[in-house]
Structure 1
Amino acid sequence: MGVSRPQKAANGVSTRWVYVFCIASFFLGVVVINRFWAIPDPLDRDKVSPEKHRSEEASFQTGDILSQVSQTHDVIMTLDKTISSLEMQLAAARAAKGDSEEASPVVTKLGTENLKARRKVFFVMGIITAFSSRKRRDSIRETWMPKGLEHKKNYSTFLSSTSLWFEIGDGLLKLENEKGIIMRFVIGHSATAGGVLDRAIDAEDEQHKDFLRLNHIEGYHELSSKTQIYFSTAVAKWDADFYIKVDDDVHVNLGMVGSTLARHRSKPRVYIGCMKSGPVLGQKGVKYHEPEYWKFGEEGNKYFRHATGQIYAISKDLATYISVNRHILHRYANEDVSLGSWFIGLDVEHIDDRSLCCGTAPDCEWKAQAGNPCAASFDWSCSGVCKSVERMGEVHQRCGEGDEAIWHTSF
């Protein structure tokens, strides 16, 4: 047994010297803090009792710390959103490059120019519709969709007229320019491209200028695919903070929707809607039958949490994620289930906002009187406003926020 020697750290520095450096750093820190710490005026201190001074000092320090914590949290959230956005843009660029390699030079050039020319907006609202839903679209144009300044016809006139010319375009243009809100009816094309159904939509679009046409063959059992293509198309066309999907038999208050989304604007990955977890229906012939029911476990199990399909919103990063990965995202029979499944395993914040699934009157009226106006209203029994063509005007009158609300709401 010899004399013990000082141990050395892994980098060859003696442990004794490490202790010396630590102690020296501590005292140096104390000296620096004492040198630069603000010293109050002795004259002012004499005017305040020691107890009151200590209380005020503690209060000031607590408030200052809370303020700094709040500011730090805001900075972190902003950085997180920026980093996430850059990552998704990089992924989108890679995907676009991969797609463009298979396209002709002309198509590639046009696609690149369109991506560069994307307009920055607050949110895009896609109203999912079908060829047979002309009257539903007209009921929305006559009620909660912003109208042109000279469009003052009443709803009874609308119901009795089949040749009513809507001055919708002015209202939508004003909405885009002043509020950064894009609204479009979303529809694909028929199995026989250029047929009578497609020509009817072309004529309607020429009249109203309020359609977003998809490269998609329409069909009830293709809603998951249509939803996926809608988000991909909207992301390529507009650079929005949020992208919304809504059915054409739902009543919407745009001002309330905008206020709801504005509260979550700083978050990078949000999925907003009325969250539910319904049963998986494996029995054939029933509505909402799920052919792949076996994937969800034993009989009687429920789906994972997802937003009900009448209306929901997703942030830009999630819409971009759908666009980038559209070729490998699995589509279930029900589109709301499909959307929820695409976010399983991702770092996504699910926001359950019940103002997006109010009932029609009297439910929407009671909530408005209680100070909780609804962003969207429909009847659960019909998965939309029951007899929406006949009742949308009544629902708008009783549940609406007022036609001028959207113009007076700041986001």
Structure 2
Amino acid sequence: MRRLNNLVTIFVAIAAFFFGSIITKILILVEKCPAQHSKHHVATHADIFLLVLVLSSPRNIEQRNTIRDTWLRLSHQHLYHSNFPEDLVYLPNYGPNGHLEMELVEHQAKSLKDYINWKKNMRNFISPKSGRRIKVKHMFAIGTMQLGSTIQDDLVKEQGKHNDLLLLQQHYDTYYNLTEKILQTLNVLTQNFTFSYLMKVDDDTYVKVDTLINELVSYDIKLLRKKQEYGTNPLPQLYWGYFNGRATIKLHGQWKEHNYYLSKNYLPYALGGGYVLSRKLCEYISNSSKFLSLYASEDVSIGTWLAPLRYVYRRHDPRFDTSFLPRKCKSYHLVLHKRSTEMMAQIFKGKLCSGNGHSSILEYYYDWTTTADKCCDSLVP
């Protein structure tokens, strides 16, 4: 009997050991899973073609509601979008040095002219659907650290109603802390969402998102179809916006730089009112986040972080009116920064734009073949 009791005791001890090991492994897996153990309250999603990221301030609920009621309505999920003509889509080639060749000024001008003509001819023509199913999702990124209980309660109610807030509990949301915000946001999104492209905008930006998606779909289709032509080189990764390469480094004032030692000018970057990034570029930034220098401006930081990469297609587009001050409105503008809620409502109803803009701010094509001080001298007529 004593021997039997000893055997039972040994069996129970072994079983407890293995059971405890299994439970421990399960807990470790749960701890490692970002979708289940995230402080940002998001779930994993797959097959998103375009993820629209809006950086928003906690109290800007009016701006968020206006965006929801206007241009985001044009980005309904699971829609079939007609194709922008493939012959108007530019794909860069690799040069003999193994770097992508950027678009020449002449081609940028032709692309804008072709788009204007295509848009004019499309006014009275309903194009067939592409047959490609497109999913678009949007998120408003908001830092919640040190927020008062009232505004936190308001955000909880807003999240309950719309379920489109990315609440960053470890971020103190201020206008001068946007670089840290974009870095945290890219970390969360790349870990929790599967997407092809990301468009970052501010909550005072209006996007003609249906037209933008239309063109982006055609670009993506052509890129994948031509994949074999790139051989052993990586596929070009899109960085699409309105670029500046001659901005001098801020040495004084609120945007003073304390650690930008690379040159006397900021390296070329797409202006922060709105730009598009391929997923692999978002992953590169996220994976390198612990080693990156944070500069005063979020858009400057993105451009600097991506500067060394040889496979980035930096697409300069005059249709992106994304500067700190708006330019004079043009019918071909796709992205319009610094628009009030009233302006957004009017644009959505068909008005060209609201407000005259600054006619003294001249549009330009970007000359990638010259030095930074002469990059932006080729004006758009």
Would you say same fold, with TM above 0.5? Answer: yes
**Which structure has more helix as a fraction of its residues?**
1
- Structure 1 residue 325 displacement after superposition: 1.2
> Which of these residues, 242, 248, 256, is aligned with residue 289 of structure 1?
256
Report what 1:375 is aligned to: 334
1:325 aligns with 2:296: no
- Structural mapping, 1:11-410, within 5 Å: 104-109=28-33, 111=35, 118-146=45-73, 179-192=134-147, 195-215=149-169, 216-265=171-220, 266=223, 267-285=235-253, 288-293=255-260, 295-297=261-263, 301-347=264-310, 348-357=312-321, 363-365=329-331, 373-378=332-337, 384-385=338-339, 388-396=340-348, 397-399=350-352
**Mind listing any 5+ residue stretches in structure 2 that lack a counterpart?**
1-24, 81-131, 224-234, 354-381
CA contact (8 A) 1:243 1:315 kept: yes
- Structure 1 residue 104 displacement after superposition: 4.5
Q: Which deviations, in whole Å up to 9, do the C-alpha atoms of 1:175-232 show, x marking residues without a partner?
A: 699631111211121325x733222111111122221223423122210111112222
In structure 2, distance between residues paired with 1:173 and 1:264: 19
What residue identity is the alignment partner of 1:248?
D
- Structure 1 residue 112 displacement after superposition: 8.3
- Structure 1 residue 339 displacement after superposition: 0.4
CA contact (8 A) 1:245 1:313 kept: yes
- Structure 1 residue 172 displacement after superposition: 5.3
CA contact (8 A) 1:361 1:399 kept: no
**Mind listing any 5+ residue stretches in structure 1 that lack a counterpart?**
1-100, 148-170, 366-372, 379-383, 401-411
CA contact (8 A) 2:58 2:151 kept: yes
In structure 1, distance between residues paired with 2:200 and 2:217: 17
Q: Which deviations, in whole Å up to 9, do the C-alpha atoms of 1:296-348 show, x marking residues without a partner?
A: 44xxx321111000001111111111121111111100000100111121122
- Structure 1 residue 278 displacement after superposition: 4.2
SS in 1 for 2:330: helix
Closer/same/farther in 2, CA of residues 268 and 316 from structure 1, 3 Å limit: farther
SS in 2 for 1:339: helix
CA contact (8 A) 2:34 2:192 kept: no
In structure 2, distance between residues paired with 1:138 and 1:116: 23
In structure 1, distance between residues paired with 2:218 and 2:317: 12
In structure 1, distance between residues paired with 2:34 and 2:160: 23
In structure 1, distance between residues paired with 2:61 and 2:246: 31
SS in 2 for 1:226: helix
Q: TM-score, with normalisation over the residues of structure 2? A: 0.60
- Structure with higher RCO (Cα < 8 A, 6+ apart): 2
Between the two proteins, what is the percent identity of the paired residues? 23
Q: Pick the structure with greater CA Rg.
A: 1
- Structure 1 residue 116 displacement after superposition: 11
4+ residue runs over 3 A deviation: 109-118, 171-178, 358-362
CA contact (8 A) 1:272 1:307 kept: yes
What residue identity is the alignment partner of 1:307?
A
CA contact (8 A) 2:31 2:37 kept: no
What residue identity is the alignment partner of 2:173?
E
Q: Provide the aligned length of Structure 1 versus Structure 2.
A: 256
In structure 2, distance between residues paired with 1:309 and 1:261: 19
- Structure 1 residue 360 displacement after superposition: 7.2
SS in 2 for 1:309: coil
SS in 2 for 1:146: helix
- Structure 1 residue 143 displacement after superposition: 1.6
CA contact (8 A) 1:122 1:179 kept: yes
CA contact (8 A) 1:364 1:377 kept: no
SS in 1 for 2:277: strand
Report what 1:74 is aligned to: none
Q: Which deviations, in whole Å up to 9, do the C-alpha atoms of 1:367-410 show, x marking residues without a partner?
A: xxxxxx332123xxxxx12xx0232212333148xxxxxxxxxx
Compute the RMSD of aligned alpha carbons.
3.2
Report what 2:119 is aligned to: none
- Structure 1 residue 291 displacement after superposition: 2.9
Q: Which deviations, in whole Å up to 9, do the C-alpha atoms of 1:270-292 show, x marking residues without a partner?
A: 2111111243343422x533233
